[in-house]
Amino acid sequence: MPVHLKKEIENLKKELLTLCGMVEDSLFQAVKSIKKRDVKLAEKVIDSDIEIDRMEVKVEEDCLKVLALHQPVAIDLRFIITALKINNDLERIGDLAVSIAENSRFLSAQKPIDMLFDFETMAEKTQAMVKKSLDALVNIDCDLASQVCEDDDEIDAINRQMYDQTKRQMKQTPENIETLIHLLSVSRHLERIADHATNIAEDVIYMVKGEIVRHNPSSSSKTAPA
């Protein structure tokens, strides 16, 4: 690998890992704001999104610069393509963390009601999926990436359970409809974050093996909605 290309790729890796850390922290703080009913923490997550957006743009620009100037091939090309795709998924996770924080801001001002689903378990499992997908990226670990893809089904099941419970609860306590809708939104945001974590894991597998597992019938993974 040419020295200049190697230097550019190492710089890209550092930028991507910085963005990983920013997004992971934003999700953690958003979930914490729900648990603690902490409006100030929710506001902090919302305000910090601008920095995530700036870093996402920088990573994309640097990836395109490397493609234009160095025309990488083989594993180097796969890394750049993977970095571009993961960069987008990370930005979307950041956006969804903001959405959770916005729900938290509303819920903190409402009369508390019992959670209709196991929020803490869903949040912990979703955060674990994000962490494992990023660890798989850092350690180039296809086995760990495959675990993330398998974990997604459990998050989907919890989200479906939440949807069914919310419909029943809306009929029983119509006065709580607005609060219930926000709780359902939190569940949906967590489910979508899990989908993006799955995308990242699939991209790690592509980077290492050159194999596209998305839409593979033998894979339990799914593509996250835009």
Q: Model confidence over 111-165: pLDDT tens digits?
A: 888 766 678 899 999 999 999 999 999 889 999 999 999 999 999 999 999 999 8
Please name which of 201, 59, 37 lies closest in space to residue 110, comparing C-alpha atoms.
Answer: 37
Mean pLDDT along residues 173-184:
92
Please name which of 194, 174, 169 lies closest in space to residue 184, comparing C-alpha atoms.
Answer: 169
Residue 182 burial (10 A CB sphere; 0-12, 13-18, 19+): middle
Residue 63 burial (10 A CB sphere; 0-12, 13-18, 19+): buried
Residue 226 has pLDDT above 80, yes or no: no
How many angstroms separate the Cα of 82 from the Cα of each of 6, 10, 25, 88?
A: 16, 14, 22, 10
Domain boundaries, the chain: 3-209
pLDDT tens per residue, range 183-222? 999 999 999 999 999 999 999 999 888 888 876 645 444 4
The Cα–Cα gap between 100 and 9 comes to: 33
The Cα–Cα gap between 185 and 103 comes to: 8
In percent, the amount of the chain with pLDDT more than 90 equals 73
**97-101-102-107 Cα dihedral, nearest 10 degrees:** 140
At 221 the pLDDT is 42
Q: Write phi, then psi, for 111 (nearest 5 degrees).
A: -65, 130
Residue 224 has pLDDT above 50, yes or no: no
CATH code for residues 3-209: 1.20.58.220
